[in-house]
Amino acid sequence: MANTDKPTDKVETEQTVVDSDKPARPAGSKIAIMLSLIAIIVALGGIYVVSKDWQAMQSNTASLTNQADQVTDSLAEIQQALAAQQAASTAAQQSITDLEEKTGRSNNGWVLAEAKYLINLADYNLEFSHNTKTAIALLQAADRRVASLNGLKLLKLRAALTDDISRLSALPEIDLTGLLLKINAVSSAVAKLPLIDKTQSTQQDKKSADSTTASTGQPMWKRGLDNTLATLKTLVVIRHNQQNIEPLISPKQQSYLMENIQLQLANAQWALLNQQPAIYQHSLKQASNWIQHYFVTNSPATKSALTTLAMLQKQQIVQQLPKLSQSLNAINSVLNKQPPTDRSKATEPAKKIKKQPAVEV
């Protein structure tokens, strides 16, 4: 047993001596190796990610290239469709031009049509509105349009227009605005006119009758007897009034009276604007009669109102307006001499226009 233990101790001693002879490794080298391994792993991961992104970018680039090709094709189709539409528009414009030429709608035709419209409008103003100023302005505008054509065949038309303009200009002008303002002034003054007091007028009549009776020449004894009898008669007084006794006007009736007078004056204004002389004269006469009957005629305001109404009744409100038949006949004669048109041939170019399909993008 003792012999077997000794060789073991010797081997351990030798291994210890051998291990003590090898140099010891530093701890920093291990950390560096670990960092290198980590860096290699990170680099490999980055390379993998970059490769994936590169593949995705190549895929997106291919998709964008395809879309760009599609957009280019669509733009080419749109340009072709626009070119076709432009050609169709040009053809349509040409057809319209040909149609205008074949239907006689040239520049001269349009100008003459405008002149006829202006003459008809002037005739309408004379017939219904009795407005000579507007009619003259319209005829002058028609003459300017005809003068722009510079045609010898239009001299008769221009002569007719000039004659009608001269006849309208020679008519006496009625100051409608001034007449309306005067009627309106009388209507405003009615509310301030003084009304007649019936009681005062009756007392004045009584005093005048008494003074007439007293002024008769009689003897002294006879006048004394009459005075005595008159004193006795005062116990019972009987008066005989041959005139109709009118009651006093109440405030409500005064309001109605003034409104009726103003209504008559308003009717006169309407008749003045609508060239109705009978209604005009009747309304002014009725208003004047009511003012004379119910208002104090000695008042300056009442005198002024009655004077104005009398002046308005003398005013002539209707003019003998001439007809524009001379100008109308002349323009119709010129238009009837225009060359006839063949509408069947004029519509042929329109049939050649084909409808273009809608562009879809």
The whole-number pLDDT of residue 22 equals: 47
Q: From CA 265, how far away is CA 257, in angstroms rounded?
A: 13
Give the tokens for residue 5.
Answer: 């233990």
Contact (CB, 8 A) for 360 and 80:
no
pLDDT tens digits for range 189-231: 998 898 886 544 444 444 444 544 444 556 777 777 777 777 7
Q: From CA 226, how far away is CA 219, in angstroms rounded?
A: 10
CA nearest 294: which of 280, 306, 282? 306
Q: From CA 99, how far away is CA 237, in angstroms rounded?
A: 104
The whole-number pLDDT of residue 172 equals: 82
- The CA-based diameter of the chain, rounded to the nearest angstrom, is 218
Burial status of residue 200 (CB atoms within 10 A of its CB: 0-12, 13-18, 19 or more): exposed
What is the pLDDT averaged over residues 31-39? 82
Q: What is the DSSP letter of 152?
A: G
The whole-number pLDDT of residue 233 equals: 64
Mean pLDDT of the chain: 76
Highest-confidence range of 23-32, 48-57, 204-213, by mean pLDDT?
Answer: 48-57
Q: Is the pTM of this model over 0.85?
A: no
Q: What is the CA radius of gyration of the chain?
A: 59
pLDDT tens digits for range 92-111: 777 777 665 555 455 778 88
Give the percent of the chain with pLDDT over 70. 72
Q: What is the DSSP letter of 195?
A: B
What is the pLDDT averaged over residues 308-330? 88
Q: How confident is the model at residue 344 (pLDDT cuts 50, 70, 90)?
A: very low
- The ranges assigned to domains in the chain are 102-172+321-339, 173-195+249-318
The whole-number pLDDT of residue 38 equals: 85
The whole-number pLDDT of residue 16 equals: 46
Q: Which of 109-118, 262-271, 280-289, 338-347 has the lowest mean pLDDT?
A: 338-347
CA nearest 356: which of 141, 127, 118, 88? 88
Q: What is the DSSP letter of 59?
A: H
Q: How confident is the model at residue 307 (pLDDT cuts 50, 70, 90)?
A: very high
51: pLDDT strictly greater than 60: yes
Q: From CA 156, how far away is CA 355, in angstroms rounded?
A: 48
Q: Does domain 102-172+321-339 have CATH number 1.10.10?
A: no
Q: From CA 320, how far away is CA 338, in angstroms rounded?
A: 35
What is the pLDDT averaged over residues 273-301? 91
